Structure 1
């Protein structure tokens, strides 16, 4: 008798008829509420989906760069809010209920087709193009509502209350946006603004009640990563703004230096978000998850607006003082980015473990936001404004870095060990 181990038997699987396998792949139902896959990673399809939003946000930011005014900023904020709501719905659906199958892929690609068509009209949403944009947005909301309904009808009765409320708000959004099609441009924008504020407010409350006594966990590392990737998407507008400004301006040492300082502001955005917020899990219960999610809207909007302001900053690089609108846009963008970070920090899972470190960082962020607003108000030369805002962002990061070192180690490392 041989002492060697027996050879393993080949693994055999039962053959599935082609028709049956195809039907399963194309019509596999989504995951129900509670069936959260905590072990998955961000897929190529999700990255592809997010790339479509680069075009939408780019169009909106380009329009703001051409018209930095109160009306231009208000229009940009409304359009960005619509874009973010669509992204949030698509992202959360895939995170909570999507599968790697033909059914999920097909619905996402249909969404991407609608989003690409919307991008054609986003740049002139405050004109007659807004009519087509409203119609396309209503179709997109209808498709997203169908997806959420496909989950709702599979859910256990005891888990249907929150999805039902969510669907009611989605249907109301379809009605409102569709009804805005025949309105005049100004009235339509006002309706959209009310819709964005109301939708976020109502869904914020629904999410709080849902998480008051959660029956299952929904926060995963992939969810946190998707929100971080969206911030990276809008950071791309900073790079585009600098490049467009340098392309359209007669280049000199001063103009180039101003552009590079502006680009470094984008680095400061990334550095603060990456080390203070990114890859840190938010808390599951109470208002924390809702706050974490919806604070990302003004945060991302501020970064994108800063990218739009880069064009004016570079184009006026040789001026003795930065134009009023450009100066306030840049200072305000940095201030909002810092203040939203202050709001996000208490929602993080490890906030209570290092309260003294986090609270001191919050104080520093508020002080830096005030400094950014003062810089915008004082209107120094463009290069000096860019340098000042860069130093403000660097100072907050440096303060946090030193504060955490005094705690014994970086919070990033402790967070990784605690997972």
Structure 2
């Protein structure tokens, strides 16, 4: 008869399993899990960004000046860079274990603290925000370094460059903390532009001769979920506007038209971009990733503009700054869609369809800018922008029907 296991042997697997669950290193470069799905932890992580974006948009809704716009754009860029780092790390290297979960929860704690200070980032709160953001970058850099340490020597060149940029970013953000509000904003803007530009170049060179694929359906889904996050700001903007304004038929109608603009954003992104894999080539993948920044920023800015749109619903003409904000946001959303389409893997299968859709999107973007320039009444501005968004989708819908592949080629959402 086999001997009964000793107490030592019965405890050993438990101890080994616990250590493995808590201290197992992340996946190395090349160990991409193409069969996984988006986890509940990732969805929970994204919820923190709902608060961050909401705080930034709420402050922007109170100040549509050039300074308010610049502050929102820079702060949104900081938020998006943090989200991109956390998202791509989990996608490429994360595991379903205690080590990964613990690090993500620490990130969420820092992000939650940042949300307290994001709303007044252009004041004294910006100092604390800079310190917290530098700490967050340090944590993210540690995670990337933990992958670099166990990578094969031939795969370390790109991670080393990435880490160098991250460390430079930490120094830059930390150096901004003691500066004046204007100095901090300028340094943050330099960080956002420089980080995105340099990392874009690094990504292009990395994927010039790829040794393994990195594009997966969960990654595409996460980017789509972030667009959903900022679309939520459109709903919040309308609700806040109607809540804080004396309601009438005209005010309510303006709010509903504004909300329908959000629907137009969703229809165009969902059927033209969402759930479509980008190409693996460097230029296409880099363009696909970093074009999502201005697109998401434009949608969030439109959400902030909804408050003003409802607040001025009874005006004969939309205020200048608000009119340009709404028209510009719709135009940017349409133009970024134009830029994204050629990066998709299936673009070459239907070039005639895609090119005709791109032409209509550019025309609609020009129309949105003209609408912002002409400054009609808020309800009319919202209606014009809604009609432009609807026209682009209807045109794409008809073109796909004529292609005879609408059901198979446009993913159901």
Same fold (TM over 0.5): yes
Shift of 1:415: 6.9
Contact 1:306–1:329, Cα closer than 8 Å, also in 2: yes
- The equivalences for 1:6-21 within 5 A come to 17-21=13-17
Q: Distance in 2 between matches of 1:414 and 1:305?
A: 31
Q: Distance in 1 between matches of 2:203 and 2:211?
A: 13
TM value normalised by structure 2 = 0.96
Shift of 1:289: 0.2
1:87 to 64, 83, 89: 83
Q: Distance in 2 between matches of 1:388 and 1:258?
A: 12
Q: Distance in 1 between matches of 2:87 and 2:305?
A: 28
Equivalent position of 1:122 in the other structure: 118
Equivalent position of 1:270 in the other structure: 266
Q: Distance in 2 between matches of 1:52 and 1:213?
A: 36
TM value normalised by structure 1 = 0.95
- The equivalences for 1:31-50 within 5 A come to 31-50=27-46
Q: Deviations over 1:301-355 (max 9, x none)?
A: 0000000000000001011111111111000000000000000000000001100
Contact 1:90–1:144, Cα closer than 8 Å, also in 2: yes
Equivalent position of 1:175 in the other structure: 171
Q: Distance in 2 between matches of 1:24 and 1:286?
A: 35
Equivalent position of 2:230 in the other structure: 234
**What is the number of equivalent residue pairs in this alignment?**
403
Q: Deviations over 1:136-171 (max 9, x none)?
A: 000000000000000000100010000000000000
Q: Distance in 2 between matches of 1:193 and 1:44?
A: 33
Q: Distance in 2 between matches of 1:286 and 1:227?
A: 18
1:196 aligns with 2:198: no
- The equivalences for 1:211-222 within 5 A come to 211-222=207-218
Contact 2:261–2:389, Cα closer than 8 Å, also in 1: yes
Shift of 1:413: 1.4
1:69 to 52, 65, 68: 65
List alignment gaps of at least 5 residues for structure 2. Answer: 1-8
- Aligned-residue Cα RMSD (Å) equals 1.2
Contact 2:327–2:368, Cα closer than 8 Å, also in 1: yes
1:187 aligns with 2:183: yes
1:99 aligns with 2:95: yes
Equivalent position of 1:8 in the other structure: none
Q: Distance in 2 between matches of 1:343 and 1:237?
A: 24
1:210 aligns with 2:200: no
Equivalent position of 1:9 in the other structure: none
Shift of 1:272: 0.2
Equivalent position of 2:5 in the other structure: none
Shift of 1:213: 0.5
- The equivalences for 1:368-387 within 5 A come to 368-387=364-383
| SS of residue paired to 2:35 | coil
List alignment gaps of at least 5 residues for structure 1. Answer: 1-13
Shift of 1:286: 2.9
Contact 1:350–1:415, Cα closer than 8 Å, also in 2: no
1:324 to 320, 324, 329: 320
| SS of residue paired to 2:247 | coil
Equivalent position of 1:359 in the other structure: 355
